[in-house]
Amino acid sequence: MHDFDRIVERRNTNSVKWDGLDQLYGREDLLPLWVADMDFPVAPAITEALKKRLEHGVYGYSLISNRYYEAVIKWMEKRHNWSIQKEWIVFTPGVVPALSYAVKAFTKPGDKVILQSPVYHPFYSSITDNGRHVVTNPLIYRDGKYYMDYEDLEKKIDSKTRLLFLCSPHNPVGRVWKEEELRKLGEICIKNDIIVVSDEIHFDIVFKGHKHTVFANVSEEIKENSIICTAPSKTFNIAGLQVSNIIIPNRRLRERFIIELEKDHILSPNIFGQEALIAAYEQSEDWLEQLIDYIEGNKDYFMDFVKENLPQLDVIDSEGTFLLWVDCSRLNMDSEELKDFFINKCRLALNQGDMFGEEGKLFYRFNIGCPRKIMEEALMRIKEGVESL
């Protein structure tokens, strides 16, 4: 059994999450449950593989090995029932860069890209920073759950709309989209000649009773019209190693995407990232199963605690991911007051919901990929904060 309860000191490791809080939040003495990496050490096989490569001592330019491709292909088959070919796999040093490359490859300046808000904030900037326009197709929030709004989507499409960014599973709302939901979306996009970039970076962390469907697996037509962004980074907590695989079955789309990468001379992963991916996909499935159970346990603890002690909060019951989306509107504060409350009263570093879109104004995102003690401490601080109001 892996010990996910063990707390590892991450301060002074150049961690985005733990160091430099002063700059972002105006004070250093905060407990961070924000940016999406986890506080757990990686699976032992990953550490072993990295040590072995480190001890070799020569760290020159790397090629992508056959073993790397095989590991990716087998993972997709085994975990996602998705049969892919080696040529479809395109390496990028992150999913966010891939979103930006997709914008450049499949749209022209002035074109429109649709996203389903509230959504992971770089979806917006990868569109606007490239001189394209964001079109929001907000999710419907009904009875504590989120749904896609197909009617609104069809209304928003015009001749300048070329691309749609799908987040599946969805960050921050925690939906694991059902096959029928994806099919409906995919068919609307095909009908209107809109390519879909499906960011599936959270696809391995899905809770009991839910099943992730790879968007390209929904139908042959959808497969030919989609770019699937995958990575071992969220799953195995190796975001700092910067490895992701963009899987593009359609040759024409793949070639256009690769042209953009070549312009920036993006060729192959760094040697450590490559070793980590192989050790993760080949040898760390058992660690992942235990991790999923632990995170689901964290979610249950969080929801039970809130029910008993913080009835003013509404936690969206997530179906996957290590992120929890919490509706704070019944605390009866505006967004500035909420910000002050969480930072200065509770001393927590969280993601303020409006960074995911205006619909998130009175929401907060909690990262529960941490030892339970850290989460308990955060919840206690909120309880005390509320009691002192």
Ligand X SMILES: Cc1ncc(COP(=O)(O)O)c(C=O)c1O
Identity of the amino acid at 379: L
Nearest one of 104, 101, 116, 111 to 188, comparing CA atoms: 116
Q: Which one of the spans 47-55, 88-96, 248-256, 291-299 is the region binding ligand X (CB under 6 A)?
A: 88-96
CB of 158 to ligand X, least distance (A): 26
Minimum CB distance to ligand X smaller for 207 or for 305: 207
- Of positions 71, 239, 292, 338, contacts ligand X by CB under 6 A: 239
244 interacts with ligand X by CB under 6 A: yes
Half-sphere exposure of 99 (CA within 13 A, CB side): 25
Instruction: Please answer whether residues 182 and 215 qualify as being in contact, where contact means their C-beta atoms are separated by less than 8 angstroms.
Output: yes
- Of positions 50, 95, 295, 370, contacts ligand X by CB under 6 A: 95
Minimum CB distance to ligand X smaller for 36 or for 350: 36
Instruction: Please answer whether residues 230 and 36 qualify as being in contact, where contact means their C-beta atoms are separated by less than 8 angstroms.
Output: no
Which tokens sit at 75?
């993972």
Q: Which one of the spans 50-58, 127-135, 231-239, 310-318 is the region binding ligand X (CB under 6 A)?
A: 231-239
Strand partners, 323: 367
Instruction: Please answer whether residues 104 and 259 qualify as being in contact, where contact means their C-beta atoms are separated by less than 8 angstroms.
Output: no
Q: How far apart are CA 377 and CA 278, in angstroms?
A: 35
Minimum CB distance to ligand X smaller for 174 or for 371: 174
CB of 198 to ligand X, least distance (A): 10
Strand partners, 135: 114
Minimum CB distance to ligand X smaller for 36 or for 105: 36
96 interacts with ligand X by CB under 6 A: yes
Give the distance from CA 249 to its chain's centroid: 22
| Exposure string over 173-209, b if 16+ CB within 10 A, otherwise e | bbbbbeeebbbebbbbbbeeebbbbbbbbbbbbbbee
Give the distance from CA 168 to its chain's centroid: 8
Q: Under rule CB under 6 A, how many of the chain's residues touch ligand X?
A: 13
Q: How far apart are CA 345 and CA 82, in angstroms?
A: 47
Q: Which one of the spans 94-102, 184-192, 263-271, 358-366 is the region binding ligand X (CB under 6 A)?
A: 94-102
In the region spanning residues 326 to 365, those forming contacts with ligand X, defined by CB under 6 A, are none
CB of 120 to ligand X, least distance (A): 4
Identity of the amino acid at 225: N
Q: How far apart are CA 39 and CA 158, in angstroms?
A: 44
CB of 257 to ligand X, least distance (A): 16
Minimum CB distance to ligand X smaller for 124 or for 305: 124
Q: How far apart are CA 203 and CA 213, in angstroms?
A: 9
- Of positions 137, 233, 235, 367, contacts ligand X by CB under 6 A: 233
Give the distance from CA 302 to its chain's centroid: 20
In the region spanning residues 29 to 48, those forming contacts with ligand X, defined by CB under 6 A, are 36
CB of 244 to ligand X, least distance (A): 5
- Of positions 94, 152, 219, 329, contacts ligand X by CB under 6 A: 94
CB of 333 to ligand X, least distance (A): 26
Strand partners, 142: 145
CB of 126 to ligand X, least distance (A): 10
List CB contacts of 340: < 8 A, sequence separation 6 or more: none
In the region spanning residues 171 to 200, those forming contacts with ligand X, defined by CB under 6 A, are 171, 199
CB of 58 to ligand X, least distance (A): 27
CB of 38 to ligand X, least distance (A): 11
Q: How far apart are CA 183 and CA 171, in angstroms?
A: 20
Minimum CB distance to ligand X smaller for 72 or for 310: 72
By CB under 6 A, name the binding residues for ligand X: 36, 94-96, 120, 167, 171, 199, 201, 231, 233, 239, 244
